């Protein structure tokens, strides 16, 4: 049985007190506190230690960074290393989000280095892949995500690849209100799992968690999470208020 996982990616939202209040509201909700879903919250770097501290005794919760720098340490003013993230108490780090690829020119080669420093610091990489609308319309979406995995992850030995969580986020669905259909999501997740199977074999591929992200909300999460190869969600907008985020967490079938 693969783990069910829901991750809140707050992106560049929430001040400190507002964010901590939201964490309190989510972590104290009795209907999700002891369910079997791993709940991860990814605030901004400056609030990471405070959020991680609040979650450290909350069963089934963990904190994540939204990014990390690709080298170990050094003269990189303004940057944040994987080691710093781990020392702040986070256990996860989102790597390769499409907003990082698009606005900060992060490419597959650089992202491979980020994956390496994350793993070297015992952080779980939540590795984001996904095609843009032009690629989808040109029917290139399958090869795009295959290339993203190949160039950023396939250098890993099976034991390290097994630690990675994959998040499929079609760029055209992020923040647009347009969600992938169940058919599109399951089709892609199945493709991703079969590619992992080709490279790492059945044991690894069947144990890899593959999350869906892109306008996932309380209205559509249930049907998305019911797909056989969808193991949970990476949630943006709907993670910014407790009611919606809790409803998404409760969207797994029994």
Report in angstroms how near the CB of residue 7 gets to ligand 13P at its nearest. 8
Residues 67-126 contacting ligand 13P, CB under 6 A: 97
**3-state SS assignment for residue 93:** strand
Report in angstroms how near the CB of residue 160 gets to ligand 13P at its nearest. 23
| Beta-bridge partners for 167 | 128, 211
Which CB sits closer to ligand 13P, 19 or 213? 213
Which CB sits closer to ligand 13P, 23 or 234? 234
CA 9 to CA 236: how far, in whole Å?
Answer: 5
Report in angstroms how near the CB of residue 157 gets to ligand 13P at its nearest. 27
- Binding to ligand 13P by CB under 6 A, coded x per residue (else -) over 3-32, reads ------x-----------------------
Identify whether 97 is a catalytic site residue.
Answer: yes
Stretch touching ligand 13P by CB under 6 A, among 27-35, 145-153, 235-243, 246-254 = 235-243
Catalytic residue chosen out of the listed positions 47, 97, 141, 189: 97
**3-state SS assignment for residue 195:** helix
Rule CB under 6 A: say whether 192 interacts with ligand 13P: no
- Binding residue for ligand 13P, selected from 216, 224, 227, 230, defined by CB under 6 A: 216
Plot region of 68 (φ>0 → left; ψ -120 to 50 → alpha; else → beta): beta
Identify whether 169 is a catalytic site residue.
Answer: yes
- Binding residue for ligand 13P, selected from 106, 131, 135, 169, defined by CB under 6 A: 169
| Beta-bridge partners for 166 | 127, 210
Phi, psi of 87 (to 5 degrees): -70, -20
Please list, residue by residue across 49-67, b when 16 or more beta carbons sit within 10 angstroms of its beta carbon and e when fewer do: bbbbebbeebebbbbbbbb
Rule CB under 6 A: say whether 234 interacts with ligand 13P: yes
CA 56 to CA 26: how far, in whole Å?
Answer: 14
Strands (E) in the chain, as ranges, are 4-9, 37-42, 61-65, 92-95, 124-129, 165-168, 210-213, 232-235
Count interface residues toward ligand 13P (CB under 6 A): 14
Residues catalogued as catalytic = 97, 169
Residues that bind ligand 13P (CB under 6 A): 9, 97, 169, 174-175, 213-216, 234-238
């Amino acid at each position: 049985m693969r783990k069910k996982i829901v991750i809140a990616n707050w992106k560049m939202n929430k001040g400190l007190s507002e964010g901590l209040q939201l964490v309190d509201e989510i972590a104290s909700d009795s209907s999700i506190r002891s369910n079997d879903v791993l709940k991860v919250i990814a605030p901004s770097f400056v609030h990471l230690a405070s959020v991680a501290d609040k979650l450290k005794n909350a069963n089934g919760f963990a904190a994540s960074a939204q990014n990390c720098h690709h080298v170990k340490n050094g003269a990189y003013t303004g940057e944040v290393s994987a080691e710093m993230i781990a020392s702040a108490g986070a256990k996860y780090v989102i790597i390769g989000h499409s907003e990082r690829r698009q606005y900060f020119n992060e490419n597959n080669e650089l992202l491979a280095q980020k994956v390496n420093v994350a793993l070297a610091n015992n952080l779980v990489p939540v590795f984001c892949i996904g095609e843009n609308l032009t690629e989808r319309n040109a029917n290139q979406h399958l090869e795009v995500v295959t290339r993203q995995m190949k160039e950023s992850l396939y250098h890993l030995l099976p034991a390290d690849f097994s630690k990675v969580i994959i998040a499929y986020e079609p760029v055209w669905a992020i923040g647009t209100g347009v969600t992938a259909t169940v058919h599109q999501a399951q089709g892609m997740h199945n493709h991703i799992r079969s590619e992992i199977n080709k490279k790492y074999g059945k044991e690894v591929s069947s144990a890899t968690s593959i999350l869906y992200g892109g306008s996932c909300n309380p209205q559509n999460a249930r049907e998305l999470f019911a797909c056989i190869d969808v193991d949970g969600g990476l949630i943006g907008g709907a993670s910014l208020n407790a009611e919606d985020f809790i409803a998404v967490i409760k969207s797994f079938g029994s």
